[in-house]
Amino acid sequence: MGVAYFYHLTQRPLVETLTMLLGKARGAGWRVVIRGTDADLLAQMDVALWRGADDVFLPHGMAGGAHDVDQPILLTTSIEAANGATCVFSIHGANVSPEEVTAADRVCILFDGLDDAALNAARGQWIKMKEAGVGAQYWSEESGRWEKKAET
């Protein structure tokens, strides 16, 4: 059974945390989908990932292209993962179902701790996972480094 990892962002920007986690996911050999709720915000993330640190290369593409199936990391607003991803990153409040969590190698839900709407959306997803009997871990960077604060 899978586990949903909730990352409460308060110290670092989304792209920095996402880059770190994507590196780990790719290191594990997982194909990844980054699911967002807004195509324009995903396009901005696409640019930010290409402009990342010189020592980090994260090959990726935006969904809707001719080579979606070949992308190791695919950015999309869709539930469907054309690249066969087994690792899902939810950003900007994108929904993840308990069934997806149990079927995936890894599911990470990243949310802005300074945004009330994002906090409420993450809380709602946490409750949904708990009610479905799906494991969830809550990670906080409040101390300046990532620490697991809760687990169901």
Please state, as a whole number, how many other Cβ atoms lie within 10 Å of the Cβ of residue 21.
Answer: 19
Average pLDDT over residues 60-76: 95
Q: Which residues contact 123 (CB under 8 A, 6 or more apart)?
A: none
CB-count burial class (<10 Å; 0-12, 13-18, 19+) for 16: middle
At 130 the pLDDT is 96
Which residues, in sequence order, are bridge partners of residue 87?
32, 106
Q: What's 82's DSSP letter?
A: T
- Domain extent, residue 15, equals 3-151
- Average pLDDT for 19-34: 95
Give which of 99, 102, 21, 103 is closest to 56, Cα–Cα.
Answer: 21
User: What's this model's pTM, rounded to 2 decimal places?
Assistant: 0.94
pLDDT above 80 for 54: no
Q: How far apart are CA 152 and CA 91, in angstroms?
A: 21
What is the chain's mean pLDDT, rounded?
94
Q: Give the total number of structural domains in the chain.
A: 1
The CATH number covering residue 94 comes to 3.40.50.10110
| Amino acid in position 112 | D
